[in-house]
């Protein structure tokens, strides 16, 4: 019998919305400090830093546009759950790339773009309620979709830092929510209790089938920090690379997450 999956973690819609706005404000301030020369640097893949900065605004704008549409039909059950979302993004790369480069060209004033995006989100996205919304992946609960925005913002904040050296703060709630979602997604992908994955101070999950740990020190433990975990989960850093750089510790014969990563592509 396969290991039972745990009940999904609950998130406070109002707190997640606040965290999304807070992290977006940090990125907005960071982008405003970039020089024209920095904006032309390589950003992510084939994107320049300007392209990456423009793309980050879509993390919020997709929610705003979804709220302008009528609530999708089909009853109360969403097509995509929160823990399914990380695995549903792989086919969007080409469409996202084209839209991002168009956005960066059409909206050269990044300051105005960020201000408009934040204002629309604050006006259109409620702090309460959990209606269905339409996303690229399918219909989702608004609260779940907001949780996914913390992943987009945290990961791309780190992308900006690595491309430019700019130190952009991380809202604690946004970083915690991103970390927990990606840790829970790993546990959902490989349910079990033989390996304990620790991402202090935000998440501890057990995963991978096999002998279950019940007391004392677990025989198989993986531990890393939140940003390294986000990089591993999204393919920015490889498992072997992180081990070699001592960015992750792994003890025990089953403590190998390499075959399960990345979670998102």
CB atoms within 10 A of CB 7: 6
pLDDT the model gives residue 210: 78
| One-character DSSP codes across 34-48 | --HHHHTSEEETTEE
Give yes or no for a contact between 148 and 159, defined as CB atoms under 8 angstroms apart.
no
45-58 burial code (b ≥16 CB/10 A, e <16): eebbbbbbbbbbbb
Give yes or no for a contact between 69 and 119, defined as CB atoms under 8 angstroms apart.
no
Residue 5 pLDDT > 90, yes or no?
Answer: no
pLDDT the model gives residue 97: 64
Taking only the tens place, the pLDDT of each residue in 183-222 is: 999 999 999 999 999 999 999 999 998 766 566 667 899 9
Would you kindly state where each structural domain of the chain is located, as residue ranges? Answer: 13-172, 190-260
pTM: 0.93
Give yes or no for a contact between 114 and 28, defined as CB atoms under 8 angstroms apart.
yes
Residue 20 pLDDT > 70, yes or no?
Answer: yes
Separation in Å, CA 114 to CA 52, 84, 151: 13, 29, 18
pLDDT the model gives residue 93: 59
pLDDT the model gives residue 218: 75
pLDDT the model gives residue 91: 64
Residue 244 pLDDT > 60, yes or no?
Answer: yes
Contacts of 218 (CB under 8 A, 6+ apart): 195, 196, 252
Stretch among 71-85, 161-175, 194-208 having the lowest mean pLDDT: 71-85
CB atoms within 10 A of CB 163: 19
CATH class of 190-260: alpha beta
CATH architecture for the domain at 13-172: Up-down Bundle (1.20)
Of the pLDDT bands very low, low, confident and very high (cuts 50, 70, 90), residue 4 is low
Average pLDDT of the chain to the nearest whole number: 92
Taking only the tens place, the pLDDT of each residue in 121-142 is: 999 999 988 899 999 999 999 9
Of the pLDDT bands very low, low, confident and very high (cuts 50, 70, 90), residue 94 is low
């Amino acid at each position: 019998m396969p290991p039972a999956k745990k009940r999904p973690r609950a998130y406070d819609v109002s707190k997640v919305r606040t965290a999304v706005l807070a992290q977006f404000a940090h990125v907005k301030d960071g982008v405003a400090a970039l020089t024209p020369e920095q904006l032309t640097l390589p950003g992510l893949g084939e994107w320049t830093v300007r392209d990456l900065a423009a793309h980050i605004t879509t993390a919020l704008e997709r929610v705003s546009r979804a709220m302008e549409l009528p609530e999708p039909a089909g009853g109360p059950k969403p097509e995509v759950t929160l823990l399914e979302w990380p695995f549903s993004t792989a086919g969007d790369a080409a469409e996202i790339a084209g839209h991002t480069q168009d956005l960066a060209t059409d909206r050269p004033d990044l300051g105005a773009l960020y201000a408009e995006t934040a204002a629309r989100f604050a006006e259109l996205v409620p702090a309460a309620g959990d209606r269905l919304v339409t996303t690229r992946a399918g219909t989702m609960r608004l609260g779940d979709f907001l949780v996914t925005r913390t992943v987009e913002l945290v990961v791309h904040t780190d992308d900006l830092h690595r491309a430019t050296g700019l130190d952009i703060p991380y809202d604690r709630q946004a970083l915690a929510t991103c970390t927990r979602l990606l840790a829970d997604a790993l546990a959902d992908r490989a349910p079990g209790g033989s390996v304990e994955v620790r991402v202090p101070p935000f998440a501890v999950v057990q995963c991978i089938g096999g002998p279950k740990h019940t007391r004392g020190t677990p025989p198989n433990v993986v531990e890393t920090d939140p940003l390294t975990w986000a990089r591993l989960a999204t393919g920015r850093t490889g498992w072997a690379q992180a081990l070699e750089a001592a960015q992750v510790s792994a003890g025990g014969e089953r403590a190998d997450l390499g075959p399960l990563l990345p979670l998102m592509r």
